[in-house]
Structure 1
Amino acid sequence: MKKLFVLVLCTAFFFSGCTRDEWDTRNPYLPEIAINYTINTALPTYNKLQYPGNAVYVAGFGLNGFFVINTGTGIRAFEATCANHAISGCSKLILNGIEANCSCTDALVYNLYLGLATTSAQYPLKEYRVSQSGTMINVYN
């Protein structure tokens, strides 16, 4: 009887590890795509990432490229595709200072410090992992 109780307890613990809410928040619009790109902030193209409050757009990686921002407390990187639309011509985001603008009909605007839309939207921007060593920034997933 004691073994049965332990088995039931372990099974309940195992299945409670992944809740339905975790699966429901997965963005259906943006597929997983491999990315691994290194940025050298000593180069003129990326030099402004050495200073807080600056963002750059990197084309050719991810779905529509990605944005990198120096928040002052760290470096963050986000996919340059609107997280609340199916991939289309209008879902490519346009960098505007520390914001990214969607050109689809609802004209969502995302804050790159947080990756959140400035108005109500279901999904935040897709964030990539970042590691930094000196002037080198690695963006990956």
Structure 2
Amino acid sequence: MKKFIALTICSIVFSTSCSKDDWDNRNPYLPEIAVNVPINTSLPTYNTLNYPGNAVYIGGYGINGILVINTGTGIRAFDATCANHAVSSCSKLTLEGVEAKCSCNDNLVYNLFLGLATTDAQYPLKEYRVNQSGNMITVIN
């Protein structure tokens, strides 16, 4: 009888934990675009990524380019598009040190160490996966 009760409880938990009402964290403003960016940190353009606190902008990938930062504990990469606006001419982010600034009316600023806006905003920056092997960094989704 104990096994039956335990099995019934487990069945209820599993059947209710995956409902269609679960929160969906996909950003409705940003389309899904395939990204595969090889970065060789031996090259002068990307050499600054060998040192903590440095970030680079890489155009031609993602929606409006890719922002890559060495946080000191690892490499992080984000799409260079404001996550809280529909894609437009003003939603392209500008890299300023370790921050990315949106030129749309609300002038959102994102901290690249965290990918979060410095003021209240609904969505964080769209982050990509990063693989690192020696001097090669690959940004993928």
Could you tell me the TM-score, scaled by structure 1's length? 0.90
Q: After the TM superposition, which residues 75-114 of structure 1 pair with which residues of structure 2 at under 5 Å, given as runs?
A: 75-114=75-114
Superposed, 1:12-91 pairs within 5 Å as 12-17=13-18, 20-23=21-24, 25-91=25-91
More helix by percentage: 1
Measured after TM superposition, the shift of residue 22 of structure 1 is: 2.9
| 1:32-63 residue CA offsets vs partner (Å, 9 max, x unmatched) | 11101110000011000000000000101100
Q: Which residue of 2 aligns with 1:10?
A: 11
Shift in Å at residue 7 of structure 1? 7.0
* One-letter identity of the residue aligned with 2:17: S
Letter of the 1:20 partner, please give it: D
Render the CA deviation track for 1:37-94: whole Å, top value 9, x for unaligned. Answer: 1100000110000000000001011000110000000000000000000000000000
TM-score, length of structure 2 as denominator length: 0.90
Mapped partners of 2:18, 2:111: distance in 1: 31
5+ residue gaps, structure 1, are none
- Assess, with a 3 A threshold, how the Cα gap between structure 1 residues 131 and 95 changes in structure 2: closer, same or farther: same
1:113-137 Cα offsets, whole Å, 9 max, x none, are 0000000100000000001001100
Letter in 2 for 1:26: R
Query: In the comparison of the two structures, how many residue pairs are matched?
Result: 140
Structure 2: state its 5+ residue gaps: none
Aligned residue type for 2:120:
S
AA paired with 1:131?
N
SS in 1 for 2:119: coil
3-state SS of paired residue (1:129): strand
- Three-state SS of the structure 1 residue aligned to 2:34 is coil
Equivalent position amino acid for 2:36 in 1: N
RMSD: 2.1
